[in-house]
Chains A and B, each alone.
Chain A
Amino acid sequence: MSNTPTDLRYAKSHEWVRDEGDGTVTVGITEHAQELLGDLVFVDLPEVGAQLEAGGDCAVVESVKAASDVYSPVTGEVTEVNEALDGAPETINEDAFGDGWIFKVKLDDAGELDNLLDADAYNALVAEEDH
């Protein structure tokens, strides 16, 4: 089992969310998701200012043999995107929970975070998918 930080929340579609405590969150894809995809070659980032719906697709991560949508785990406005991924998509492979973050969102409703999984529930989901 890959490491799953306990201070993050998770979506079933394998995104993680970090509550920055100021009404914004940071979003990325999990270690497990990057393992499934393999070496990433491109990240299609959302635009700053875009309004996202929870569950809506908003970014794409591409490997050589697959392309996977990234779904926004929350509703709100994109405040920042990780431009560094443009030239170095492999950052997600190397540090999915850290430097490999994808975008930040100003939350419409902080209560939405309660709909997401905690680390234990996410690990259980991954274990189940493996079967």
Chain B
Amino acid sequence: MPFIPHTEEDIQEMLTAIGVDSIDALFDEIPDELRCGELDEIPAGMPEMEVSRLMQGRARQDGQPLCFLGAGAYDHHIPAAVWQLTTRGEFYTAYTPYQAEASQGTLQLLYEYQSMMTALTGMDVSNASLYDGASALAEAVLMAVRGNRKSKSGRILVPRTLHPLYRRVTHSIVRNQGIELVEIDYDSESGQVDLSSLEQHAGEDFAALVIPQPNFFGVLENTDRLTDWAHANGMLAIAVVNPLAMSILKPAGEWGESGADICCGEGQPMGAPLASGGPYFGFLCCREKLVRQMPGRIIGKTVDLDGKPGYALTLQAREQHIRRSKATSNICTNQGLMVTAATIHMAIMGGEGLQRVAAACHANTKKLAQTLCDLPQVESPFTGPVFHEQVLRLPLAAKDALRALAAHNVLGGFDLSDDYPELENAILVCATELRSDEEIEQYRSKLERVIAAQVQTPCQLKPDW
């Protein structure tokens, strides 16, 4: 019996001890009419060898296309040590550190994680992580509504330059509490938040302004100005940042005169593989004065009975297991294992190592964009400076171009036409540090063929699969 250690003899001894004659008798409190049958619709069990064969086939089936797609999940190198350590049974199969004395490994690691995240973002405190970047933003919004006591409206200003999926997730999570997200448009020339659209809301009651850095177009926002504008208008500033970008960019805690109040984002670039979108982790940092509004686990350093340093869960009175219906959130666990990977990743890379990776991504994306813009009628519509993604406009429908590229085993980018139809045939491309010059050249030559085939003979929209 897979994973069940009982011998026939064990079973008999145990039943005798309990005083019943069969295992089935242990279910005698369950009314008979509720008992289900054999579950024939569920397949029979398979030995590990057969399941391995099945899974290897499935994994191979999806190929490993050349990835120029980002849009919130990035193809980075992860040092081999990161996951070898992370999958040690002592990390992998432990649980939430309720018994602190028997969980100092996890607790100290989480404290180190909090320390690294505050160093990266320039904020005072960090929690021990949330599910992912988008749901972390939803929690940041709820935090801002609770934390901004001057604001009564429950309204939040959200730029259209924020990731469309983040806007949708935040809406799904906060809408039932009557919180309204009000969108502000972007400047069609720079690709940044449109300051005149923003100015129209000056003096109105909003709990917070959301500031993405870089924004969804890959463009860098003028974060100093936006942060100061939010504060001047009685709003909190919520930064949504890429943690790798933070290694080279001004940290959120230093934006403007007094810094962002809350900083959140997607932790995936710190050691999590692409893996179909999860598990990743959301990070959430804030100013010390907002710490009691924070959801999720927080680890504190303290001492034991002998005065020896140790680590423990702290500020638990914010959490659902104590505060129940008045908790800051319903969140229970964090993404512990992903944070284990991230902490080891950051320790191995160091601040300067991350800078090199970030700068290499930046340089590769610039190279990719320039190379592609050499093709006829491919252009870059925005003038704002970028980090490691860029918007390109193509001479054919984005959908068709990406489909044809995929047939060549190239993931050419993200199709912007659904979320930003006004940009017409626009795609968002990304070249991380992993992409070589040869791969960039492959992309160029394949796009060239796709454009040539489809622009010249628009009636034959047939990719060559």
> Which of the four size classes fits the interface of chain B?
under 10
Known: A67-B318, A67-B322. 17 other contacts (CB 8 A): A41-B317, A42-B292, A42-B317, A44-B292, A62-B317, A63-B317, A64-B316, A64-B317, A65-B316, A65-B317, A65-B322, A66-B317, A66-B322, A67-B317, A67-B323, A67-B326, A69-B326
What chain B residues lie within 8 Å of A41 (beta carbons)?
317
- A47 lies within 8 A of chain B by Cβ: yes
Q: What is the CA–CA distance of A62 and B316 in the complex, to the nearest angstrom?
A: 9
Per DSSP, chain A at the interface is: strand
Nearest chain B CB to A66 CB, angstrom units:
6
Q: CB-CB < 8 A to A63: which residues of B? A: 317
Inter-chain residue pair count (beta carbon < 8 A) = 20
Q: Is B149 an interface residue (CB 8 A)?
A: yes
In the complex, A64 Cα to B316 Cα: how many Å?
7
A55-79 interface with B by 8 A CB criterion: 62-67, 69
Interface centre among B292, B316, B317, B323 (most CB of A within 10 A): B317
Q: Tell me the residues in window 28-46 of chain A with beta carbons closer than 8 Å to chain B beta carbons.
A: 41-42, 44
- Min C-beta distance of B293 to chain A, whole Å: 11
B-facing mask of A61-101, CB < 8 A → 1, else 0? 01111110100000000000000000000000000000000
B316 touches A47 (CB 8 A): no
Say how far A60's CB is from chain B's closest CB, in angstroms.
8
User: B322 — which chain A residues lie within 8 A by C-beta?
Assistant: 65-67
- Complex interface: chain A residues within 8 A of B149 (CB): 47
Q: B120-159 toward A: CB 8 Å interface, digit per residue (1/0)?
A: 0000000000000000000000000000010000000000
Distance in Å from the Cβ of A51 to the closest Cβ of chain B?
14
Residues of B within 8 A of A44 (CB): 292
Contacts of A69 in B (CB 8 A): 326
The smallest beta-carbon distance between B327 and chain A, in angstroms, is 9
20 contacts between A and B (CB under 8 A): A41-B317, A42-B292, A42-B317, A44-B292, A47-B149, A62-B317, A63-B317, A64-B316, A64-B317, A65-B316, A65-B317, A65-B322, A66-B317, A66-B322, A67-B317, A67-B318, A67-B322, A67-B323, A67-B326, A69-B326
Against A, the Cβ 8 Å flags (1 = close, 0 = not) of B296-330 are 00000000000000000000111000110010000
Nearest A residue to B149, CB-CB: A47
